[in-house]
Structure 1
Amino acid sequence: MCSQRLKGLARVRKRPATGKTIYYCYAWRGGPLLRNDSGPIQPDDPALPAAHQEAHERRRNPNSTTMGGLITAYRASADFKLKAALTRREYDRYLDDLRSEFGNLSIGDLEAKETRVRFKAWRDAMSDRPRTADYAWSTLSRVLSFGKDRGILSVNIAERGGRLYRGNRRDKIWNSADINAFLAVAPRSLQLAMQLAIWTGQRKADLLKLKWSQCTIDVIRLRQGKTGARVAIPIAKQLRAELDLEPHVAETVLTTTRFKRPWTSDGFDTAWKLACKNAGIEDLTFHDLRGTAVTRLALAGCTAAEIGALTGHAMRDVDLILDAHYLGGRPELARRAIEKLEAV
């Protein structure tokens, strides 16, 4: 393959539902996707070397007078590099789309009201995937905001673009029946994942990376990948018992069911969805366990400061989270309030 001779080229192999393996070739790790009108350029395509060279030329001589140059400058900035690795990967996907679609737009174009109409049409073409459309628009706005902040643009025409996705997870709380139904059919590896989520309130990405070395007899210590917050989580007796049952067969606490290897995010999601299906659970996700943990703590009478100390949320955000996202426990809170009033 000609890709083997291209210095710095990064390749990612994918096998979509069609079963045919395709490659995503990037000019360098974290760099732009090399593509043409037919889609991602494959490793054996004669067009790959020229596209690779052109990308490196743009990197050496970024032209911030175009959208493509602005994207290159943004990727090279601390604004982008200091983001979490997962966030950068998500941004990369849409930055490549923006470069492909609008890379030749001039600074004048990027400040024109008419261009906002083009941007809206681009986003609305993804309206069948509203969350994707919103993320794409958010990425566009971030790039233009970077340009405005650096004095390249006088205005960000993507500000206040509105959202297409109207769903929320307000009532998406795992109740006791849901939890018990899942634990009754899920393999041991997923049972432990649920227990960790319920008792720590941490995100999936952080729990999948959790190492035994971060777990002492009574405390789990970790740095959250998304926020960088450091949290020390006391280990509840029930969680301690679950951890004591788990053999230390890998560096990470959570491992795949069959081969006892660290989970990939996609692999975990697939296994989790299958277990939910077997348990008859619909419209609940692993991420909803984070909200469930917050709600359980609130129902137990924990203060906002206590909840934030455990989950890593800023204290000022805890009440907002309960109000805006995790209202599933409010009826129970109201019931307990009346019980306390009656006891006076």
Structure 2
Amino acid sequence: MVEHRLRKNGWLSMHVRLKGVKRVRKRLADGTIRLYHYDRATMTPIAGTPGTSEFAASQAEAGRAKAQTRSAGTVEWLIRQYRQSGVWKRLAASTREIGNLNLKAVEEKWGAMPIEALTIVPRPGVPSARTLLLDWHEGLAETHPRAADAKLSAFNGVLAWAVDKGHIPRNPIGTFTRAYRANRADLIWLPENIASFESVASPKMHLAMMLALHTGQRQGDLLTLPWSAYDGEAITLRQGKTRKLVYVPTTAALQVALASAPRRSPTILTMASGRPWLKRHFHTIWTETVKAAGIADDLHFHDLRGTAVTMLAEAGCTVPEIATITGHSQAHAQKILDRYLARTRTRTLARSAIAKLEDHRRTRQMETKTETGA
């Protein structure tokens, strides 16, 4: 009877086409026949009826368990365990997305390596796991240094977690020399850069610029910032990367910009259609606007965060005050100031020096005219 009902609803025929699923019919004590489903490789029971979301979820879970069993004792297994850990789940969604890409590359290269090989001391003439991993990193860095650093850093995080959990006795990577060295100490948005950008920016891009400069928040947090976070006087948000709750009183200029912005979506920043920005699309439009503005410096949206820190410092804000607004630690905020203020202060001092020189020349000219009676 049960089988007849399944066939009538199309579930039984759907089940037949499912790969890796074993069907078992059992007679119950009352004489009725019940149909059960199992993962064929592990005989793990699959809950629900074929064609339902419950069945699909249970089958996927059985598949994950099968993959874990198949890869037990290898680097692939270690990475899969890490992805199920609380450490991984507490990361921001954007961080997990990037991490998945980097760890996938690690799995493809080193997934089959036994866990024991990570820390054993090989016989003379045989490279250790650390040597192999650093050589791999060096090879990748010849063409893509930044990507090479990201992949090895992602694996380094897995290994550090594995040490804490007792899976391995020590981390074979630990510290390593990074191939990519970015020095953005000189790259902040100067007033002339901002003016050039605003002269060609659409209202959507102008509002994004205002929010970044006047709040010091990350692009990811601003693209998802809802109107409900703004009460007319301040913006309150929980940062996606650090999970810090920050309270940012808004400037008069930002209040005017927000008051004139259309509310076509729950989020403040939207595309022309009124839908929230896709990160890649926003990056494209922002880059096009920077190019149209004729800004020659290699300025990124993220540099607005450092620019906001310098603006707050030049306005007389203390490091603790700046850190409270931007969400940085005080140590990190001070580090930013040490790096970024050099350029603005250098220009200010240079202008001051030239102004004094011109004043001195005018004074000398006046004295000369007085002495000669000219």
Whether these two folds match at TM > 0.5 is yes
From 309, 313, 323, the counterpart of 1:308: 323
Which residue matches 1:122? 136
TM superposition shift of 1:301? 1.2
The higher radius of gyration belongs to 2
Tell me the C-alpha RMSD between the 2 structures. 2.7
TM superposition shift of 1:151? 1.3
How many residue pairs match? The answer is 292
Which residue matches 2:180? 165
Alpha-carbon distance change, 325 to 175 in structure 1, aligned in 2, over 3 angstroms: closer
Which residue matches 2:229? 214
Q: 1-side partners of 2:19 and 2:275: how far apart?
A: 32
2:300 maps to a residue whose letter is T
Which residue matches 1:182? 197
Q: 2-side partners of 1:179 and 1:289: how far apart?
A: 10
Matched position secondary structure for 1:126: helix
Q: 1-side partners of 2:284 and 2:67: how far apart?
A: 39
Q: 1-side partners of 2:248 and 2:135: how far apart?
A: 46
**Is residue 2:82 matched to residue 1:67?**
no
- Which shifted more, 303-312 or 101-110? 101-110
Matched position secondary structure for 1:145: helix
Q: 2-side partners of 1:76 and 1:139: how far apart?
A: 15
What is the CA deviation profile of residues 18-39 of structure 1, one whole-angstrom value per residue up to 9, with x for unaligned ones?
xxxxxxxxxxxxxxxxxxxxxx
TM-score, structure 2 as length reference: 0.73
From 107, 120, 125, the counterpart of 1:99: 107
TM superposition shift of 1:63? 5.4
Q: 1-side partners of 2:340 and 2:77: how far apart?
A: 38
TM superposition shift of 1:154? 1.4
Alignment of structure 1 residues 128-147 onto 2, 5 Å: 128-147=143-162
From 217, 224, 233, the counterpart of 1:202: 217
TM superposition shift of 1:260? 2.2
Using the aligned pairs only, state the percent identity: 37
**Is residue 2:294 matched to residue 1:280?**
yes
The structure, 1 or 2, with the larger RCO (C-alpha pairs under 8 Å, 6+ apart) is 1
Which residue matches 2:85? 77
Alpha-carbon distance change, 332 to 230 in structure 1, aligned in 2, over 3 angstroms: farther
- Which shifted more, 325-334 or 124-133? 325-334
CA contact (8 A) 1:169 1:326 kept: no
Matched position secondary structure for 1:125: helix
TM-score, structure 1 as length reference: 0.79
Matched position secondary structure for 1:197: helix
Which residue matches 2:362? none
TM superposition shift of 1:328? 3.0
2:81 maps to a residue whose letter is A
TM superposition shift of 1:196? 0.4
CA contact (8 A) 2:188 2:340 kept: no
